[in-house]
């Protein structure tokens, strides 16, 4: 008997996870790996978060919370916007999610129907494209590069043909680390709002910037229908706690709540209780950002000496995106060779751009400074 396999599961793999699997196999065989492939902070969550989690384990039943999250955490997130960004975001518009991944799924389900068209930057985070595709929503890849500083902008979108129902923007961006200025964010928000195009702003790397801070869409008068998605995984270093949040416009909040009730019931309770204190850990978290900056500076100096000289601007996040078209047109095979022959794990650009990604690589510098130095040494030796 033959059983049906649904077509929506036939999305492209998240290639960085495949690279992680290959790296784990190498480690299981006793060989070492320097991890420049995965976009997550190394080390523990902040000490106060760990202490709060221990207290909660000892004193709380850890049952379900309200679907939108605990009132205490939603209120604390709202206060964060006031303190850090100077904008007013009502706690009633905040939905706590199971990582930012759930936020993307909830926002796409609430805002778009099958057949709608949503623009995303290429290169860009692959899960946008894959989730949209699985939901029957057309993903409109928008090629970006040095001319637009690797970002989708109002000027770039104005040149597209056909209708758009939505736009996903990320600033800082994965994989390039590029950012939009505050003026560009406001211009894009107004452009979308005036055309009835739903803007989804991915702000999960906010807090990790090496010049001006990243500008949020939350609280913008020009963007009352935009959705903002953030995460505790990157700046807040709580990756495995699987917690994020959304700032949801009034017209979507009930739909998001109902979807959350049915798909997830509620976000992880222990993670929510621990995360209440993470906003008070800025000294510890900013010290991590200083380390990312130092790591970036090492690779910006050393990678060109290893033959990787054509790099996108890394204004924030913790990535360098390299054009390797002078070295190969098969980034997957090239990355596999680097891992096998040097022990340095990197991500092929095909994860981020299905057309031009055969000629690019992403390097993550979220790890230890010693790893950056050693990875650069091995790559320079290998490329000679």
pLDDT tens by residue, the chain, 384 residues: 889 888 888 888 778 888 889 899 999 999 999 999 988 898 899 999 999 999 999 998 999 999 999 999 999 999 999 999 999 999 999 999 999 999 999 999 999 999 999 999 999 999 999 999 999 999 999 999 999 999 999 999 999 999 999 999 999 999 999 999 999 999 999 999 999 999 999 999 999 999 999 999 998 999 999 999 999 999 999 999 999 999 999 999 999 999 999 999 999 999 999 999 999 999 999 999 999 999 999 999 999 999 999 999 899 999 999 999 999 999 999 999 999 999 999 999 998 999 999 999 999 999 999 999 999 999 999 988
- Give the residue extent of every domain in the chain: 7-45+282-383, 61-280
Phi, psi of 232 (to 5 degrees): -90, 5
**What pLDDT was estimated at residue 251?**
97
For the question of whether the overall pTM of this predicted structure is more than 0.85, the answer is: yes
Is there a cis peptide before residue 172, judged by omega within 30 degrees of 0? yes
Q: What is the pLDDT of residue 140?
A: 97
Degrees, nearest 5: CA angle 249-253-256: 120
Domain 7-45+282-383 has CATH 3.40.640.10: yes
> For 106-133, b where at least 16 C-beta lie within 10 A, e where not — what string?
bbbbbbbeeebbbbbbbbbbbbbbbbbb
For domain 61-280, the CATH architecture is 3-Layer(aba) Sandwich (3.40)
Tokens 């923007």, located at residue: 169
3-state secondary structure labels for all residues of the chain? CCCCCCHHHCCCCCHHHHHHHHHHHHHHCCCCCEECCCCCCCCCCCHHHHHHHHHHHHHCCCCCCCCCCCHHHHHHHHHHHHHHHCCCCCHHHEEEECHHHHHHHHHHHHHCCCCCEEEEEECCCHHHHHHHHHCCCEEEEEECCHHHCCCCCHHHHHCCCCCCCEEEEECCCCCCCCCCCHHHHHHHHHHHHHCCCEEEEECCCCCCECCCCCCCCCCCCCCCCCEEEEECCCCCCCHHHCCEEEECCCCCHHHHHHHHHHHCCCCCHHHHHHHCCHHHCHHHHHHHHHHHHHHHHHHHHHHHHCCCCEECCCCECCEEEEECCCCCCCHHHHHHHHHHHHCEECEEHHHCCCCCHHHEEEEECCCCHHHHHHHHHHHHHHHC
Same fold, 7-45+282-383 and 61-280: yes
């Amino acid at each position: 008997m033959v059983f049906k396999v649904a077509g929506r599961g036939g999305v492209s793999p998240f290639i960085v996870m495949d690279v992680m699997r290959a790296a784990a196999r190498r480690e299981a065989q006793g060989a070492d790996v320097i991890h420049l492939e995965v976009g997550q902070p190394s080390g523990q969550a902040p000490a106060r978060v760990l202490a709060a989690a221990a207290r909660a384990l000892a004193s709380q039943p850890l049952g379900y919370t309200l679907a939108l999250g605990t009132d205490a955490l939603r209120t604390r997130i709202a206060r964060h916007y006031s303190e850090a960004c100077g904008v007013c975001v009502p706690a009633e518009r905040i939905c706590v999610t199971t990582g930012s991944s759930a936020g993307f799924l909830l926002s796409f389900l609430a805002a778009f129907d099958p057949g709608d068209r949503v623009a995303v930057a290429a290169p860009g985070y692959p899960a946008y494209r894959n989730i949209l595709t699985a939901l029957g929503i057309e993903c409109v890849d928008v090629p970006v590069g040095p001319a637009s500083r690797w970002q989708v902008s109002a000027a770039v979108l104005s040149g597209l043909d056909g209708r758009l129902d939505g736009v996903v923007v990320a600033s800082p961006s994965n994989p390039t680390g590029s950012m939009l200025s505050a003026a560009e964010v406001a211009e894009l928000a107004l452009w979308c709002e005036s055309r009835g195009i739903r803007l989804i702003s991915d702000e999960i790397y906010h807090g990790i910037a090496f010049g001006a801070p990243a500008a949020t869409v939350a609280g913008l008068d020009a963007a009352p229908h935009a959705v903002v998605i953030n995460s505790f995984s990157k700046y807040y270093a709580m990756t495995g706690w699987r917690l994020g949040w959304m700032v949801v416009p009034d017209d979507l909040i009930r739909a998001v709540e109902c979807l959350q009730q049915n798909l997830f019931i509620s976000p992880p309770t222990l993670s929510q209780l621990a995360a209440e204190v993470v906003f008070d850990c800025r000294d510890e978290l900013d010290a991590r950002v200083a380390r990312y900056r130092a790591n970036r500076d090492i690779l910006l100096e050393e990678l060109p000496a290893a033959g990787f000289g054509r790099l996108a601007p890394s204004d924030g996040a913790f990535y360098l995106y390299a054009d390797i078209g002078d070295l190969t047109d098969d980034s997957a095979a090239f990355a596999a060779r680097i891992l096998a022959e040097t022990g340095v794990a990197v991500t092929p650009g095909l994860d981020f751009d299905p057309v031009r990604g055969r000629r690019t690589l992403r390097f993550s510098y979220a790890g230890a400074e010693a790893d950056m130095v050693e990875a650069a040494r091995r790559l320079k030796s290998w490329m000679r």
